[in-house]
Amino acid sequence: LKTGNPFKKLNDEIFVYVAKKQREIDELKRMEQFRREFLADVSHELKTPIFAAQGFIHTLIDGAVDDEFVRDKFLAKAARSLDGLDALVKDLVALSQLETGELRMHFERVDMRQLIEEIFEQLESLARARTTSLRLKAPQGPIWVKADRQRMTQVMINLIQNAVKYGNDNGRVIVALDEDGKKHIQVSVKDDGPGIPPEHLSRIFERFYRVEKSRSKEQGGTGLGLAIVKHILNAHKSKITVLSRLEKGTEFRFKLDKE
């Protein structure tokens, strides 16, 4: 009769226990590191618009207010900085809720055709300012998917807005909805802009990562748009991919469950 070695069994159990605790410690360390970096990034990003607005307002107080032309220009610039701050805070709240899983998804039957047509209307003036055309390529009739309507609207606004903002003037943005087998719809947002250099492609979904910082800021970007897109799609069990060719354009793609 073999009873086994009781010491070996105990030894194995201790080994498993220590390995588990070590994994927990590593995870805590990773989270702590993430929290520290996040805080550093956030304070840096918040300081920029605050300093800018402060600068304009103090210059006005110091006398620039007397010159009507300078006054109007500086007030407009201060307002723009504060609008940027507002957008940043809103995006930060959304992102932090998404990251902690606090933001509950409300899945329902959504007609993607209608959702996109509404967004096109919303973005009409931005597209007109860039003389860019917005086109939807999709089969006839409603295209039902299972999604959180509000969050999916945010995803599509971020992607279409980026396509217009970073595309060329007189550009063309095409949103395509295609059947992908029996169960999925493929969504694609494509522009004919300058494209994203390959060395940046894998990083554009990171928070605050921008290929051209000045261009992004000038366009009112917070650097959080694609990070938010990735998280929302993740909550839809979907993954976004990007294809880009320099001087040809960029295409973002993902799949949604049909409903």
Instruction: Judge contact between 177 and 137, C-beta under 8 A.
Output: yes
The Cα-based distances of 77 to 59, 65, 187 in angstroms read: 12, 14, 37
- Residue-wise DSSP of 200-242: HHTTTTSTT--SSHHHHHHTT--S-HHHHHHHHHHHTT---EE
For the CB of residue 231, give the shortest distance to ligand ADP in the complex, in Å.
Answer: 11
* Contact call for residue 250 and ligand ADP (CB under 6 A): yes
Nearer to ligand ADP, 115 or 163 (CB): 163
Task: Give the interface size with ligand ADP as a residue count (CB under 6 A).
Answer: 21
Per CB under 6 A, which region of 10-18, 78-86, 179-187, 208-216 contacts ligand ADP?
208-216
For the CB of residue 224, give the shortest distance to ligand ADP in the complex, in Å.
Answer: 6
Residue with tokens 């909550």, as numbered in its chain:
235
* Contact call for residue 173 and ligand ADP (CB under 6 A): no
Per CB under 6 A, which region of 25-33, 36-44, 108-116, 209-217 contacts ligand ADP?
209-217
Over its C-alpha atoms, the chain yields an Rg (Å, rounded) of 24
Nearer to ligand ADP, 57 or 159 (CB): 159
User: x/- site string to ligand ADP, residues 139 to 158, per CB under 6 A?
Assistant: -------------------x
- By three-state DSSP, how is residue 62 classified? coil
For the CB of residue 196, give the shortest distance to ligand ADP in the complex, in Å.
Answer: 5
**What is the C-alpha separation between 92 and 89, in angstroms, rounded?**
5
* Contact call for residue 226 and ligand ADP (CB under 6 A): yes
- Amino acid letter, 171: G
For the CB of residue 202, give the shortest distance to ligand ADP in the complex, in Å.
Answer: 12
Instruction: Judge contact between 217 and 149, C-beta under 8 A.
Output: no
